[in-house]
Every structure is written in structure tokens, then in C-alpha cells.
Amino acid sequence: MELKLDYGEGIDSWKEVTLIYNAALRQVETKMAILNDEFQHVHQYNPIEHIKARIKTPESIVKKLKRNGYESTIDNMVKYINDIAGIRIICSFTSDIYRIAEMISEQRDIKVIGVKDYITYPKASGYKSYHMIVTVPVYLSDRIVDTKVEIQIRTVAMDFWASLEHKIHYKFEGDAPEHIRTELVECAKMVSDLDARMLSLNEEILAISKSNELEQEKKAIGL
């Protein structure tokens, strides 16, 4: 791994890069935990199942820079690589995905600079997820660094499919046999169907629960 130091953007060493991006990840994770707790308090429901966070390895960053035709420098990685810091938010239902994305965009100190909606427009492989590139301010002792974080929001079923697709991609170095790619697309369709059916079932359960609560309230006041 070759990563040259280039002193131009205020971040001049790999150690400082990891410090800043880890700080950004902690901020986003904390915000998500607070929003999840608030949602539970207001709606008696947690939209977030769990959160995964990671910093991209230097090797992966260098490969991505070279693939895109950039020299391997600290400045270039900060400027051109949007997913050095990554947060994956896993939720139960597709409706939660857009609810969480809206909550993120409404945070005053989070700036959304890019969105890719692979839920509405899946990749040809069948991949589904909602991607946001945001910046969060990291407060250091002598300056504030607006730091990019990629946020991926998907259901448990989408995450299971994406995990398998990722393993297959690296196993075959991006050139999996045709029948495996076809099977993955079919599995993606099954995942979409499962998500839709589970969402419909959950909405029916909520409607029944609300109806039962109204009946109990009527009985309580003698109606």
C-alpha cells in the first residue's frame, strides 16, 4: 500500500485521517441512537434494528483512487473518496428506510450532499439499499473539519442478500458465472417480495391493534 502525504487540505497523516473519520462515525452513531430512543418514546417503536460502522482500509482506498485515475495522496482520498467512513443502518421494514433518511436530513448539523435510491431504482444485479453521502462537523482543538460519511439504509433481508453478493463478488473477482448472477437476481426478487409482504403484515397488525385500543377506550368510558 502506497499512500503519499500531501499537505493541502488540513489533514496530513493517516493517523489524523482515522482520528477524524472515527470521530465522524461516533457522532453519526450517537445521533442515530438518540433518534431511535426518541422514536421509541413517541411511537413505542424502534425503526433501527442495529448499526454497523467501519473505516475503509488504506488498501481499499488506494485501489479505488487508482481505479478512478487519481494519485494515491491523503488530499485525493479526502476529496474524492466519499465512503472512507461508512455507517450501515439496518431496519425491519422498507417504510423505515425513508423514515430514517428523513430524520437524518432534518438534523441541523448534518448536510446531505448526495443520495442514491437503490430501493426505487435497484441495480441490475438486484442490489437494493438507500445511500446518503453526508458531512458532519468534527470539532478539533484548533479547527472544525467537515467530514464525509456514507450512510447505507436497508432492511434485514436486503442486508442478508447484499452480504452474500459481496462475498460472491470478491470470490470471483467481479466475474461470477452467469448462472450464479442470474440466481442472485432471482433471490433479490424474492427478498423484495418478502419485504413487501412483511410490511403489509405489519401494517395489518398495527391496524388491528389500533382498533382494539379504540374498543377498549369505548368500553372504559361506557360507550
pLDDT digits (tens, 9 = 90+) for 95-133: 999 999 999 999 999 999 999 999 999 999 999 999 999
Query: What's the pLDDT score for residue 12?
Result: 59
Closest CA to 191 of 164, 216, 210: 164
Give the count of beta carbons closer than 10 Å to the beta carbon of residue 222. Answer: 5
* 157-180 confidence digits (pLDDT tens): 999 999 999 899 888 877 889 999
What is the set of domains in the chain, with CATH numbers?
A: 14-208 (3.30.460.10)
Give the count of beta carbons closer than 10 Å to the beta carbon of residue 141. Answer: 4
Split at pLDDT 50, 70, 90, the class of 44 is: confident
The conformational region for residue 193 under phi > 0 = left, psi -120 to 50 = alpha, else beta, is alpha
Give the whole-angstrom CA distance, residue 33 versus residue 51.
9
- pLDDT for 6 beyond 70: no
**Arithmetic mean of pLDDT, 35-40:** 90
* 127-164 confidence digits (pLDDT tens): 999 999 999 999 999 899 999 999 999 999 999 999 99
Split at pLDDT 50, 70, 90, the class of 223 is: low
